[in-house]
């Protein structure tokens, strides 16, 4: 039995501070001339963080494990935990589709043409809740890309930029795939030349996720967004998003600024009809002084606070929520190789 109370094996030690260059971090290391089996671990992620719509993302230390083996023929898929109901999708399974696309992309880059293995065996141990706003689809996409990078003989050609581009094309936006690839706090954006990201080390080390039992499809939540918003709201969000990056990363910033920094006017109120309980929980927590936001497209609520503080606020939280303290994950997806973690 897997779930949020079992976040998965511990990730590698935290990386040394990195400069905030406008380039994506390496997802899971380079290929070693191709290999027969690979185990990839991918973190949960929370996007938007309030005002950073489709841009800001945070990696969380809750992991899915994906083991992929090249076989002689056939396709075998085993799923434990979340997503067991999609184990019979065969070639339509998201990770399989990503693997196929990544193998073809690497072949095109190498000039050797399409490459597809004779067979695949896929085993997933999923702990990230599905359709809850914690990046389960991004974790699957990144797992497939990192695995292809490791398994293909020319996998080194699936470099940082290509991985981010493919992940964004498949997911539709970079806000979750960026922290899943790079870890920490990420700022992602798109350019005519493709998506980019900056990775930052947040001062906040732990958050609390309130996960409801019910799911919410991202497509439904996005469908509630208006085509235009008032200029004043857009301006307010721009200022809050800038303040949020400072509040999360700059030592010495007044912690109280985080409450103002997580205010949103672009998406949360428009999506509230699809998740009224989540919207009300955000309101109650914020009224009590807790910086709380909808995680991604919801319905999970993310609070920048401690479990002990939340324990003292039982009336504000109410019933019907699974409360889970989660560390911020300093690393993105990584490969376990021969019993040790392979990092770039």
pLDDT digit string (tens) for the chain, length 344 residues: 445 555 665 554 444 333 333 333 333 333 333 458 999 999 999 999 999 999 999 999 999 999 999 998 899 999 999 988 888 889 999 999 999 999 999 999 999 887 788 899 999 999 999 999 999 999 999 999 999 999 999 999 999 899 999 999 999 999 999 999 999 999 999 999 999 999 999 999 999 999 998 888 777 877 888 899 999 999 999 999 999 999 999 998 888 899 999 999 999 999 999 999 999 999 999 999 999 999 999 999 999 987 677 676 666 676 788 898 999 999 999 998 654 444 43
Cα–Cα distance measured from residue 87 to residue 192, given in angstroms and rounded to the nearest whole number: 37
> Does residue 132 have a known ligand-binding role?
yes
Q: Does the annotation flag 129 for ligand binding? A: yes
Residue 24 has a pLDDT of: 34
pLDDT at 20: 33
pLDDT at 255: 82
Q: Is residue 3 annotated as involved in ligand binding?
A: no
Q: Is 150 annotated as a binding residue?
A: no
Q: What's the distance, CA 194 to chain centroid? A: 19
Residue 7: what pLDDT?
A: 63
Q: Confirm whether residue 46 is marked as ligand binding.
A: no
What pLDDT, on a 0 to 100 scale, did the predictor assign at position 10? 55
Q: CATH 3.30.70.890 spans which residues of the chain?
A: 206-327
134 carries a ligand binding annotation: yes
Contact 217, 329 (CB under 8 A): no
Query: What architecture is domain 206-327?
Result: 2-Layer Sandwich (3.30)
Q: Residues spanned by CATH 3.30.230.10 within the chain? A: 37-201+330-342
Q: Which long-range contacts (CB under 8 A, 24 or more apart) does 224-232 make?
A: 224/270, 224/271, 224/273, 224/274, 225/267, 225/270, 225/271, 226/270, 229/265, 229/266
In this structure, what token pair is assigned to residue 267? 């998406």
Q: Is 298 annotated as a binding residue?
A: no
Confirm whether residue 133 is marked as ligand binding: yes
The answer to whether residues 266 and 174 touch, using CB atoms and an 8 Å cutoff, is no
Q: Is 138 annotated as a binding residue?
A: yes
Spatial CA neighbour of 173 closest among 65, 57, 92: 57
CATH of domain 37-201+330-342: 3.30.230.10
136 is in an annotated binding site: yes
pLDDT value, residue 114: 77
Instruction: Find out whether 242 is annotated in a ligand binding site.
Output: no
């Amino acid at each position: 039995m897997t779930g949020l109370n079992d976040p998965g094996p511990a990730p590698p030690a935290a990386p040394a501070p990195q400069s905030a260059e406008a380039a994506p971090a390496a997802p899971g290391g380079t290929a070693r001339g191709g290999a027969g089996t690979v185990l990839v671990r991918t973190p949960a992620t929370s996007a938007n963080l309030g005002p950073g719509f489709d841009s800001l993302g945070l990696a969380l230390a809750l992991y899915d494990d994906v083991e992929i083996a090249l076989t002689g023929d056939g396709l075998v898929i085993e799923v434990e935990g979340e997503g067991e109901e999609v184990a019979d999708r065969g070639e339509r399974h998201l990770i399989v589709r990503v693997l196929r696309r990544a193998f073809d992309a690497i072949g095109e880059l190498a000039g050797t043409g399409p490459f597809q293995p004779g067979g695949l065996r896929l085993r997933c141990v999923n702990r990230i809740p599905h359709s809850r706003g914690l990046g389960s689809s991004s974790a699957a996409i990144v797992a497939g890309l990192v695995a292809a990078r490791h398994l293909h003989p020319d996998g080194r050609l699936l470099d940082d930029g290509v991985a981010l581009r493919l992940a964004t094309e498949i997911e539709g936006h970079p806000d979750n795939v960026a922290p899943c690839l790079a870890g920490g706090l990420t700022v992602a954006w798109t350019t005519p030349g493709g998506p980019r990201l900056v990775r930052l080390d947040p001062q906040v080390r732990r958050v609390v996720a309130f996960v409801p039992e019910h799911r919410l499809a991202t497509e439904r939540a996005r469908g509630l967004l208006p085509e235009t918003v008032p200029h004043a709201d857009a301006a307010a969000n721009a200022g809050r998003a800038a303040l949020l990056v400072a509040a999360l990363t700059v030592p010495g910033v007044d912690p109280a600024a985080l409450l103002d920094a997580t205010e949103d006017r672009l998406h949360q109120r428009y999506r509230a009809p699809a998740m009224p309980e989540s919207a009300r929980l955000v309101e109650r927590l914020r009224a009590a002084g807790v910086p709380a936001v909808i995680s991604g497209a919801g319905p999970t609520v993310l609070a920048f606070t401690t479990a002990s503080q939340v324990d003292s606020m039982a009336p504000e939280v109410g019933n019907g929520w699974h409360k889970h303290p989660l560390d911020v994950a300093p690393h993105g997806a990584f490969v376990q190789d021969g019993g040790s973690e392979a990092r770039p």
